[in-house]
Amino acid sequence: MLRRVGALIEGPGFYPYLSGRDNLRVLARYNRLTDADVEQALDQVDLQARGGDTYKSYSLGMKQRLGVAAALLGEPDFLILDEPTNGLDPNGMADMRDLIRRLAGQGRTVLLSSHLLGEVQQLCDRVGVIADGRLLTESTVAELRGASSLLVRAEPLPLAEQVLAATLGGADLRRTADGGLQVTTRPDRTPELVRALVAAGVDVHEVRSFERTLEEAFFEMTNHTPQEELAS
């Protein structure tokens, strides 16, 4: 089974004085693979043109891509990537995301471990949330982010709250920290809600679709706030 698994554990370690190609050849020999396997791995991460350059001359993004190439030796079915964009600049991060999408599109299962929840939200189909060593939940990104809702900004707020509650019946309705109202309902009910508010004499400033981010869902599930995370 281990031959079907490839892994990149955060910061890849290679011989700095060897070329990227020769570093992969060392690993290939250990795994009884050929030079053709090395070239295939370099090609998959777009490093063939720089394969002859020494590892120490590589940028951080290239070093991460060489780490992915090492994980791809032998064409594994299951790929584990731990913080693959760690330390990369925005361009390097975008390149790495494109690479991960391409690898997943080739029929592999890719397990991505990351603290960058915006990146997880962009890339992943299913997400597992781990806190304090425990798996809290596993689900799709859409399910974790929750049901669709609307953000309403209107004045006077108490009257707007009453009108929305009466119009929607038992729908979930709560005030946001910045003085708006989050209403859990279908976006196609927007015209009906606006008509009801205006008819009641409420000034409507904004109505738009509202979706919480995966980061917000994470903080809610782990009972943390962004400020607490910064302090820790």
- Which domains, and CATH codes, for the chain? 2-114 (3.40.50.300), 147-211 (3.30.70.260)
pLDDT at 228: 46
pLDDT at 231: 40
pLDDT at 224: 61
pLDDT bin (cut points 50, 70, 90) of residue 232 is very low
pLDDT at 229: 45
pLDDT, tens only, 148-183? 788 899 999 999 999 999 998 866 888 888 888 888
Q: Please write down the long-range contacts of 108-112, taking CB distance under 8 Å and 24 or more positions apart.
A: 108/76, 108/77, 108/78, 108/79, 109/77, 109/78, 109/79, 110/79, 110/81, 111/78, 111/79, 111/80, 111/81, 112/81, 112/84
pLDDT at 171: 67
pLDDT, tens only, 97-147? 898 898 888 888 999 988 888 888 888 888 888 888 888 888 888 777 766
Helices 60-72, 90-104: axis angle to 10 degrees equals 10
pLDDT, tens only, 7-43? 888 777 899 999 999 999 999 998 899 999 999 999 9
Whether the per-residue pLDDT at 208 is higher than 90: the answer is: no
DSSP three-state, residue 31: coil
pLDDT at 121: 86
